Amino acid sequence: SYQLTQPLSVSVALGQMANITCGGNDIGRKSVHWYQQKPGQAPQLVIYRDTSRPSGIPERLSGSSSGNTATLTISRVQAGDEADYYCQVWDSTTVVFGAGTKVTVL
Amino acid sequence: EVRLVESGGGLVQPGGSLRLSCGVSGFDFSDHWMGWVRQAPGKGLEWVAIIKKDASEKYYLDSVKGRFIISRDNVKNFLFLQMNTLRAEDTADYYCTRGSYRPFSYYYMDVWGKGTTVTVSS
């Protein structure tokens, strides 16, 4: 079965840039989606199909994917970006999630 | 406003059954794939099941195959998850999700409900 690998945690200073990686075999050939989950809340889609943002998601959040790594980038990090982030792909007939990355804003 | 509202969660003994419901409003329910995602306490997201617009295709997480059944009512705009032979490891928050699907290409969840909690314990 297909597996996605994310770092357990990422720490970033307020106003700086955070990169959250999602590793998978030839993931660049798949369509990658990202979800943000703040404490006590339901997940929310923030990036779909590698690079697209749903309505209402700020341009500070962006996605890219190539080779064996997909990346969610958060520019000019704000305190409100502190959350868990999950990557996700579709593999045959299965939805696959990464284990999630906790982003801490310092 | 697009809304997904789950109900039916609760405490159930191991081996028992529970039926989750998800009421939908604000969009054409019959034009979308739908599904369930769960999250055990303190853990990550885990996909459970998805169902095609007309219910002609259904896909399940391996560990729930044969125990859970996903279904939908396109007249009343409801999604269901019948959960049988429940185990302690099924304890989780269960989220109703709206899906966006392209064959052989992608599936992602663009709308999420707030979730309902299922606890399996004696």
Burial class (CB in 10 A: 0-12, 13-18, 19+), A34: buried
B76 in A contact zone (CB under 8 Å): no
Q: Do the Cβ atoms of B5 and B95 come closer than 8 Å?
A: no
Q: Do the Cβ atoms of A60 and A74 come closer than 8 Å?
A: yes
Q: Which of A54, A96, A100 sits opposite B110 (nearest CB)?
A: A54
The counts of H helices and E strands in chain B are 0, 11
Judging contacts by C-beta atoms under 8 Å, the chain B residues touching residue A95 are 35, 37, 47, 50, 107
Judge whether residue B104 has pLDDT over 90: no
CA distance B48 to B82: 12
A58-76 mean pLDDT: 98
Judge whether residue A90 has pLDDT over 90: yes
Q: Quote the minimal CA–CA distance from B104 to chain A in Å.
A: 7
Q: Quote the minimal CA–CA distance from A76 to chain B in Å.
A: 25
Q: Quote the minimal CA–CA distance from A88 to chain B in Å.
A: 8
pLDDT of residue B122: 96
Residue A77, sorted as left (phi over 0), alpha (psi -120 to 50) or beta, turns out to be: beta
A53-68 mean pLDDT: 97
